[in-house]
Structure 1
């Protein structure tokens, strides 16, 4: 049984034992189940689930921070009398991706204000983007590569075995 399903099962058991099956009890049960799985990852076979859930939280935290920073930067550009947009089109080399991870990477990067994914090369090894308000293409590439690394940490590796969580 996967770690996530075991965690959901523990949450349901908690809610049933509490006598009141509602969202609050399920949430408390999920949290307590997660702590239990965290305490005994080898015995319960949930080490990969733990690693993936921590990577997911790291990705979400980074995404929210970057989204906030990008919103402030674009707002400041819009409020300037003579904004220096410094618009550029650049490419970013990509690690191997599944369809899901490529879609999530594209959606995540496009959600950032001031950046748009334009497309990919035929082999899906390079992503072309448009961005504004960036100091250099290298800075932009580094930001996208960071998002890609965090994303691939919690998603399954492509069938070729390269990329993804190590």
Structure 2
């Protein structure tokens, strides 16, 4: 088919989990960078005043972005595994795609650890010490980024590489 010479939808589907998990990882690193600025010593006292309002707005937009990326990663992984099931077993990429999908879903396992910290920041329950709550949130966020987000991305890199390698064999 001539169309596949320019655009192969199956190849795009195989690459989609890698693309969306890359975006998730990038967003997580950006969140850490942008929010860590509030805890720099030079502006920390001013941050305590601004942080509850800022974080409320930041979190609402960030939550939508994060959930969209996680949903796209999981659904594109399920679709590519369904479409290429037999092929995936032959080149062993199914294991990597499945592990990446499970790790992606594992991002949500951190909600019970993070939700109270978000609430504390937004509602300023520490009365003017929101940067301490942010510091706590950033700690869990870093652990989540370096475990499930990074590990999912690595799985998708390996799975996609096996797909590309299989196409060239």
Global fold match (TM > 0.5): no
**TM superposition score normalised by structure 1:** 0.30
**TM superposition score normalised by structure 2:** 0.30
| Larger helix percent | 2
